[in-house]
Amino acid sequence: MGPDLLLPWLSDQLVRIGPVLLFVICLLETAVFAGLVLPVGALIGFGALLAARGVMDPAEVAFAAMAGALIGDQIGFAIGRWFVPVRRPPGGVIVRLWQGAVQRTESLIRRQGLIGVSAARAIPFVRTIMPWFAGRAGMRWGRFLVFDLIGVLAWATIYVGGGFVAGYGWDAVAERFGEIEGAVIMILVGVVIVAAVHLWARRLIRRRGGGGAGGDRPGR
């Protein structure tokens, strides 16, 4: 199945199976680095939009996404800490994504410490590698869990919350501007919000200096 067909197929399965699929996809994103190939963010937004339209229960969608993400992160952390280091995956595009994500994750965590764990959740591909790298860097699991939970909550607010807003606001926007114009407006708003968050996170990566008081560095 080609990349262009993966999202439509997953969206169709999400309608059929429900939030359970969302839980599994969010878990696999960081537990086994599936986020390098799976369109997780788009699928979460679609699931939230369906929930806002009454197709699925909003609370179940939000819980499935956050629980899957948090558990997947802990599995990825355990792999980095206690198991054999993951080798670079085969394939030209995947190799480039892996190398770029590892470099950005290393820069973020080494400069910002545990704060970088929270920020990494806002950056595609970086959040896929982040738990593994954090475990490999020797972070204490308890501290990682706290800052990862903060990041998961912020991540869910962006993607799940954005999908809810799009779903609940669709009727009002479409009624005032028309369906086509309304769709364009909602898409543009979503793109601007996500782009703003990504810009903030990338600036955090480039910022020099420590990650805050209290020794929020890897391994402490």
- The pLDDT score that the predictor gives to residue 130 is 94
Distance of alpha carbon 91 from alpha carbon 72, whole angstroms:
24
* pTM for the model: 0.78
Q: Digits of tens for pLDDT over the chain (220 positions)?
A: 555 678 788 889 998 999 999 999 999 999 999 998 888 888 888 888 888 778 899 999 999 999 999 999 999 999 999 986 666 666 677 788 888 888 888 888 888 888 889 989 888 889 999 999 999 888 999 999 999 999 999 899 888 887 787 776 666 666 666 555 555 555 566 566 666 666 666 665 565 444 433 344 455 4
- The pLDDT score that the predictor gives to residue 214 is 38
- The pLDDT score that the predictor gives to residue 7 is 78
- The pLDDT score that the predictor gives to residue 204 is 58
